[in-house]
Structures are given as C-alpha cells and as structure tokens.
Amino acid sequence: MPTFQYKKLVRDNIPGWHRENGHTVKGRTLTGRDLRAALCEKLHEEADEVDAALSKQELTEEIADVEQILYDLCAEEGILPSEVETARLAKADRKGGFRTGAYIETVTIPNEEDKWAQYCRQDPDKYPEVTEDEL
C-alpha cells in the first residue's frame, strides 16, 4: 500500500474526497498562528505555480488559487475585502501599479543621510549596498 507525504495545507474538501475513495488520511486542523503560517506557505507555493503556468486556462486557475488563499487569509485575520480594496487603491494612487514594467537595477543616492539611503540600509537582504566596482 503506497503512502504519500503531503505536509501542506489543502483545500477543505480534499480530505473528504480521499476518505470517500477508501484512503486513510492522517492530518489535523490548523488554527491561529499555524493556519496563518500554512496559508502564507501555500501562497508561495501557488505563486510558483502561477509562474509555471503554460496556458491561459492554467494561469487563470492558479491566479484563482492565489486569490482564494488571500480571501481565506483575510478572513482568518478579520480583514474585510473592502479594506483590502481601499488599501490597494490608496497604494496605487500613491505609488502606481506594476503594469508599465518599471524595473530598477540600482539606485545611487548622493547624500548618505538621505531618508531612502537609511531605509535601504535597514533591510540589507532586500537592498544590498554595492560598491562602484560592482556596478
């Protein structure tokens, strides 16, 4: 009898489908921090599947999975969809969207005390500082 390790959050109906087919399912119900962490992990998994989608239909289904996870994460955290939309619109108004494809390789800031230099230095994994030789 083959046994397969999942070790991941699955859609609500999947355990029942397995049981209906005579499969033995071992697992648990996640709540609180554990559920939030699993939803975030699942979001990363589904984002990778969006990247790997080979057709419009596949891409649509993977985006739907991402959207479902976001809806469930919001519900778990008590965030209303209208709050997300308000935040999205405000951020788009302030910073724009991503449709133009603006992509930054590096930013050189002439003043060491500039607030953006300080901002970037607070997160060196995200914004590594490079030397002139590396440019």
Average confidence score pLDDT of the chain: 94
- pLDDT band of residue 135 (cuts 50, 70, 90) is confident
pLDDT one-digit tens code per residue, 3-55: 989 999 999 999 999 999 999 999 999 999 999 999 999 999 999 999 999 99
- pLDDT band of residue 1 (cuts 50, 70, 90) is confident
pLDDT one-digit tens code per residue, 75-117: 999 999 999 999 999 999 999 999 999 999 999 999 888 999 9
CA proximity to 65, closest of 6, 10, 123: 10
Structure token pair of residue 79 = 């965030």
